[in-house]
Amino acid sequence: MGGVSKDLTVNQEWVKKRFEKCDDILKRQVFLGEGRQEGYLVYVEVTVSNLMLEEHVIGLSDVQPLDGYEQAEAALLAGNGILFLEGDDTVYKISSKGYPGIGVSKAESEKVMRGSREGFTESEKLNVALIRKRLRDPRMKVQEQTIGTRSHTMTALVYMEDLIYPRLLDTIRERLDAYEIDGILDSGMLEQLVEKHWLSPFPQFQSTERPDRAAAAVLEGRVVLVVDHSPTVLVFPADYNSFFQTSDDWYNRFETASFARILRFFAAILAMSFPAIYVAVTSWHTSLLPTNLILSMAAAREGVPFPSLGEVLLMEISFELIREAGIRLPGPIGNTIGIVGGLIIGQSAVTANLVSPIVVIVVAFTALCSFAIPNEEFASAFRLLKYGCMFMGAWLGLYGVLLSYLWVLIHLSHLNSFGIPYLMPYVASDLNGYADEKDALLRFPFRMITRRPVFARRDARVKLRKKG
């Protein structure tokens, strides 16, 4: 990078070229002292007080000279301001409050045992700064755009310029510009407009409240869409596998992470089909069960006036109502309603002989499985498909359940997210030399995952190597 030039114009050109398309990095021309010495001030938006820099630059005491452009860039991306002066071959670091800290917010829907507790806020500027805090590289670009003819909602595309495919960025812009709308009030509204397969219950965008998760996606060659007024950002492209991953998977040892992922995969299957399997077996295939179990279930269902499908539907709908009521009520009351309501209704239904005890167990276990899926929007797809699967099990028995599996698999095989097959890396894994399989159902040891996923450009997929 070399030393700093005495010619202020040269320094300005370096800043503009080095931080091109970085809309979150602000540049200000200032004049200092009675002699009106010309200067050029650069800082990351939100990390530095505009009032302090624009009106009180002379009075700052925490100023440190730096040697060359390399130190200047590092200081800038660390959240400080840098000041160039005309006729001076030294650049000055102006210490500031830095990037937003943990007090910004706390991620509520994506809790982890290990890792950052920071979560996104409802400010687009703050959210971009939280990503920049983790990726202090000028190759990370931020392109802002307003959407909504009345709301003028600010959005920002965050990506690593040397990792993404240019065509991906063009496709995203085309979809964002495809509709004219009065207002965008949350990222979920944009998600529904931009999705290609909008009839599918499965999301083609990954949503997250965690800045570290968004930063990890940018390092994979994906694009993050930040929307003002929304604490949830969108990540794309997305695939089936990415919805089962959590931040814990990377911060914990590979044995623990692999075991947790296997649990989540099986939980997704059971969240969709466990009630259907119960209905199919009790209605059509009782001969598959051991004699003692058949007798126990028959004794439990004695006097129940509904068929298996009816009692399962009754309990499932009751549980959905409890879940919805718990969400809408204030925090402490909602938690109480969810726990107490479930216990009271379940026990009362069994006592009144409306349902059998085993159905309460089936419904409760199914709910636990749906809660084990890390992404709520992704889990909702399995909650909806569960009802169709139940009707198929009541109609055709286990054959109906298997047909439901087949239909879902065929549907998933037809989905793609911005050109990436939805079932990656379980299909077309040769596109990245089978490297993506090391971070799929099992998470291989960290030192063995040396390549980025298929989202990144082919010539930029190596991310880990030994020095020398």
Task: Give per-residue pLDDT as tens, 355-367.
Answer: 888 888 899 899 8
* Mean pLDDT, all residues of the chain: 87
The CA-atom distances, in angstroms, between 84 and each of 5, 16, 80 are 9, 13, 13
More confident residue, 190 or 57: 190
Asked whether the beta carbons of 436 and 453 are under 8 A apart, the reply is: yes
Residue range 215-239: mean pLDDT, rounded: 93
Helix (H, G, I), strand (E, B) or coil at 67: coil
More confident residue, 294 or 85: 85
Domain count, the chain: 4
Does 233 score more than 90 pLDDT? yes
Last residue of a domain, one of 238, 271, 301: 238
Whether residue 114 sits in one domain with residue 29: no
DSSP state of 301: T
- pLDDT band of residue 1 (cuts 50, 70, 90) is very low
Q: How far is CA 324 from the centre of its chain?
A: 23
Judge whether 226 lies within some domain: yes
Judge whether 444 lies within some domain: yes
Whether residue 297 sits in one domain with residue 205: no
Distance between start and end Cα atoms, the chain: 22
pLDDT at position 58, please? Answer: 46
Whether residue 188 sits in one domain with residue 133: yes
pLDDT at position 135, please? Answer: 92
Residue range 127-151: mean pLDDT, rounded: 92
Q: Can you tell me the distance from the alpha carbon of 120 to that of 124, in angstroms, rounded to the nearest whole number?
A: 9
pLDDT at position 3, please? Answer: 77
Whether residue 168 sits in one domain with residue 310: no
pLDDT in tens, 376-422: 899 999 999 999 999 999 999 999 999 999 999 999 999 999 888 99
- pLDDT band of residue 51 (cuts 50, 70, 90) is very low
Residue 379 structural domain: 261-417
pLDDT at position 63, please? Answer: 84
Considering only the C-alpha atoms of the chain, give the largest distance between any 2 of them, rounded to a whole number of Å: 98
Does 317 score more than 60 pLDDT? yes
Asked whether the beta carbons of 164 and 222 are under 8 A apart, the reply is: yes
Judge whether 467 lies within some domain: no
Q: What is the pTM of this model?
A: 0.86
- pLDDT band of residue 267 (cuts 50, 70, 90) is very high
Whether residue 273 sits in one domain with residue 382: yes
Q: Which residue has the tokens 């990656």?
A: 424
Whether residue 358 sits in one domain with residue 218: no
Residue range 306-328: mean pLDDT, rounded: 86
Asked whether the beta carbons of 240 and 417 are under 8 A apart, the reply is: no
Whether residue 110 sits in one domain with residue 50: no
Judge whether 465 lies within some domain: no
Whether residue 290 sits in one domain with residue 399: yes
Is 391 exposed, middle or buried, given 0-12, 13-18 or 19+ CB atoms closer than 10 A? middle
Q: Which secondary-structure segment (H or E) carries 459?
A: none
Whether residue 106 sits in one domain with residue 82: no
Last residue of a domain, one of 185, 206, 238: 238
Judge whether 255 lies within some domain: no
Pick from 139, 200, 204: nearest CA to 171? 204
Judge whether 277 lies within some domain: yes
pLDDT in tens, 64-123: 899 899 999 988 988 888 999 999 899 999 887 667 665 566 777 777 777 788 889 888
Whether residue 405 sits in one domain with residue 269: yes
pLDDT exceeding 90 applies to what percent of the chain? Answer: 44
Q: Can you tell me the distance from the alpha carbon of 395 to that of 400, in angstroms, rounded to the nearest whole number?
A: 7
pLDDT at position 323, please? Answer: 83
Whether residue 283 sits in one domain with residue 169: no
Whether residue 145 sits in one domain with residue 45: no
Judge whether 251 lies within some domain: no
Tell me the two tokens of residue 2. Answer: 């070399």
Does 201 score more than 90 pLDDT? yes
Last residue of a domain, one of 47, 73, 94: 94
The string of DSSP codes covering 254-288 is HHHHHHHHHHHHHHHHHHHHHHHHHHHHHHH-GGG
- pLDDT band of residue 60 (cuts 50, 70, 90) is low
